[in-house]
Amino acid sequence: MAKIALVTGGSRGIGFGIAKALAAEKWDIVINGMRPVDSVSEALNELHAMGVRVGYARGDIGSAAGRATIVSAAREFAHGSINLLVNNAGVAPKVRADLLETSEESYDYVVDTNLKGVFFLTQAFARGMVDAKHENPEFPAAIVNITSISATVVSINRGEYCIAKAGFGMLTQLFATRLGGNGIPVYEVRPGVIKTDMTAGVTEKYDKLIAGGLCVQPRWGFPDDVGRAVAALARGDFPFSTGQVVMVDGGLTIPRL
């Protein structure tokens, strides 16, 4: 039986890298995004060309109505519960502001999507996975959360993002603990500096930092680096490691003198 994964924010950047890595291992893929389907047709076609079924669940995880639409579309595609939820979708602050100047509007925008939205989307799909496990204990199910080194590495010009990612890390621990008895592992992948459209505006800054020794491995990370980590977790290569964090940061967070 084919296994089905939902990758939120899966039409570009890290999410698309994850979707391609899973498709390469013959997972059927539902990608989520907020753009009209015509705008993501290139990504959908590329995945379909890899020999898997592909669906699109349009919706904003930051709103209750958007989450309901995503859940409904994914379940319709899967004819029941999906096997793998990859929580990747997220937003950056629209304006990077000093911590003393962060607006409540920006805080709500980032946290509603990157933390509140992820919590309730995970809750909805976790319920479906638990039900599927009750019906068939052999039903394969897992959750992988894509957070960020910003969960522990401070950026005072985007504090709301750091707070959301730190909370997201605790979300992993909570769901791993709640679902462990149901045989549903929950993992966290924590990327470092990854070359995507989200980092396009700070390319020059990070080029200089990386050249100056920011990372142990002196290069940018790429979506494929994150995708390969997720694929390993999805395969079940870490069956006794629920709740754990996989760093994909080129050694950036290794304490060094």
**Catalytic positions, written as ranges:** 161
Give the separation between CA 155 and CA 144, rounded to whole angstroms: 24
Give the separation between CA 107 and CA 210, rounded to whole angstroms: 29
**Displacement of CA 117 from its chain's centroid (Å):** 12
**DSSP helix/strand/coil, 64:** helix
The H-or-E segment that residue 85 falls in is strand 84-87
Nearest alpha carbon to residue 214 among 245, 191, 198, 193: 193
Q: 25 is written with which tokens?
A: 């291992």
